[in-house]
Structure 1
């Protein structure tokens, strides 16, 4: 998932967010709701925002879904631009584009 930082807020690109599909996969829908539940702003058609206070929880949640084997790396990995330093609390689930 492509991400960027602005004023200590992590933004996930709206195009990379998991979709919610009525009648869809239980794992994917659970992933959608778990991610949305810890965001500080998650409107349809907008990038989702995550305060620094939830970054550790976000990292743990992403690692848990990654380890489940149901989702691909591109769905749970945070991808930063090359020139953006990755915050220490997000390093275990992050990479550079």
Structure 2
């Protein structure tokens, strides 16, 4: 998922947020609701925002879903631009584009 930082807020690009599908995969829908539950702002048309205070919880959640084997790494890894700084709390679930 493409991500970027601005003023100690982590943003995940709207187009990379998993979709909720009624009657869809339980794991994928659970992933959607788990991300939404810890986001400080989530809207269909905008990038989702995550406060610095929950980055550790976000990293643990992404690791859990990644290790479950039901979702691919591209769906559970944060992708930062090559010149971006990756915060320590997010290193275990991050990569560079």
**1:71 alignment counterpart:** 71
Say how many residue pairs are matched. 97
Instruction: Give the Å deviation of 1:45.
Output: 1.2
Q: How big is each residue's C-alpha offset from its partner over 1:26-76, in whole Å with a ceiling of 9 and x where there is no partner?
A: 000000000000000001111000000000000000000000000000000
Unaligned runs of 5+ in 1: none
Q: 2 CA distance for matches of 1:75 and 1:22?
A: 19
Q: 2 CA distance for matches of 1:90 and 1:33?
A: 20
Looking at secondary structure, tell me which structure has more strand per residue.
Answer: 2
Check if 1:22 corresponds to 2:3: no
TM-score by length of 2: 0.99
Q: CA RMSD in A?
A: 0.4
TM-score by length of 1: 0.99
Unaligned runs of 5+ in 2: none
What SS is found at the alignment partner of 1:84?
A: coil
| Deviant stretches of 4+, over 2 Å | none
